[in-house]
Structure 1
């Protein structure tokens, strides 16, 4: 294995944002005429906003008005600024992590930067932050993961992706990378781990202690991380 690279999804992995995003979608869709159910939003986790809007239309038949796209971000931004927290255990994990790492998210760069800043973890990644807005196809396509690895000089076979969504796991597997499913966010649900395994995750972990052990076992880190 060449130098390992750890690729982190942002929402639901680094930051506990998925419940806040679901509230934002519910509020905005209700404002524009659709009483959106929480389980519908849950089927779109891991997708970029444009794909989420398309998927909701496929599931409900409701076409969201194009002129109101900005309403979703404004509502989401307000909730993130007020309530966003890092996922439990991620700060000590990152504080002791020596392996090269980056962020590869379906969110816009504006949202990623806001999330990392509000949660206090931006300095752990510096400029190594990538959005699917930088590539042709969003998750579950592998584009964002291959793009991130290329930018950091990492080989797919030596890269591991930590994801909370089946779409993200599928993208990581398609990129030829190790995929670890994460179920430690507050949006996790019964059967979450099974869905990630079904999407191709090589392992599923419910905490950053479990992630640390899994990464060490697979050779992506060489020393204890969490709580070190």
Structure 2
């Protein structure tokens, strides 16, 4: 019998269509603290990173040093936007309802943000406690730490894991973990070169919607 495959989902931009809202939150908070010029194009270069690494990257790109005492402002603004506007990615609910086998979430976001996102979009019921955050490991994506941690917690061999990611950093982390990497480009933050960049990062294939993900997974022995 073939080994059971574990599906590891990124959260932001894969399960929930959050990246445009998250970018808006960063813009607003940096403006609030007198640091203009942090726009969607800047944040797009940080997709897939955890917050601490995003703040470092924004400083590299703009020179703005966000005050550590105000870190909570980013989540407060993000949470408010999510509560008002966050939606699941198109088709993900139906996909999860028919998915067979094990699955979990491995995200660069905090546990609080992951749980909030899944709760308000109605997706929490699909994952239970199988929620893993980069805050639980030493290194964030593109390091493989979060994926290896999730696999260990779920009792899965990394070679039997399939990661679904929307960012090059996430794809690189999945590849480094020795897992099959699926690039997803169905979120609201997608762009013309999105699929090509995911492929360049090492994605085994890319999909623009959940119907295509289902078709591709069936070729890997996963029913969805």
Q: Same fold (TM over 0.5)?
A: yes
Which deviations, in whole Å up to 9, do the C-alpha atoms of 1:120-167 show, x marking residues without a partner? 010100110100000010000000000000011111111000000000
**Equivalence for 1:170:** 172
**Equivalence for 1:23:** 24
User: What runs of 5+ residues in structure 2 fail to find an aligned partner?
Assistant: none
Residue 77 (structure 1) aligned to one of 76, 79, 93: 79
TM-score for both structures, normalised by structure 2:
0.98
**RMSD after superposition:** 0.7
**Contact 1:15-1:86 within 8 A present in 2 as well:** yes
SS of the aligned residue for 1:181 comes to strand
**Equivalence for 2:33:** 32
User: How many residues get paired?
Assistant: 222
4+ residue runs over 3 A deviation: none
**Is the counterpart of residue 53 in structure 1 residue 55 in structure 2?**
yes
Cα separation, 2, equivalents of 1:128 and 1:63: 35
| Residue 90 (structure 1) shift | 0.3
| Residue 37 (structure 1) shift | 2.0
User: What runs of 5+ residues in structure 1 fail to find an aligned partner?
Assistant: none
| Residue 107 (structure 1) shift | 0.2
Q: Which is worse superposed, 84-93 or 29-38? A: 29-38
Cα separation, 1, equivalents of 2:116 and 2:102: 22
**Contact 2:106-2:132 within 8 A present in 1 as well:** yes
Residue 96 (structure 1) aligned to one of 98, 116, 119: 98
Q: Equivalent residues in 2 for 1:198-209 (5 A)? A: 198-209=200-211
| Residue 32 (structure 1) shift | 1.1
| Residue 168 (structure 1) shift | 0.3
**Contact 1:140-1:167 within 8 A present in 2 as well:** yes
**Equivalence for 1:11:** 12
| Residue 66 (structure 1) shift | 1.1
Cα separation, 2, equivalents of 1:197 and 1:63: 33
Which deviations, in whole Å up to 9, do the C-alpha atoms of 1:179-227 show, x marking residues without a partner? 00000001101101111011100100000000001111122x1x4x3xx
**Contact 1:2-1:155 within 8 A present in 2 as well:** no
Cα separation, 2, equivalents of 1:162 and 1:55: 24
**Is the counterpart of residue 213 in structure 1 residue 215 in structure 2?**
yes
| Residue 112 (structure 1) shift | 0.2
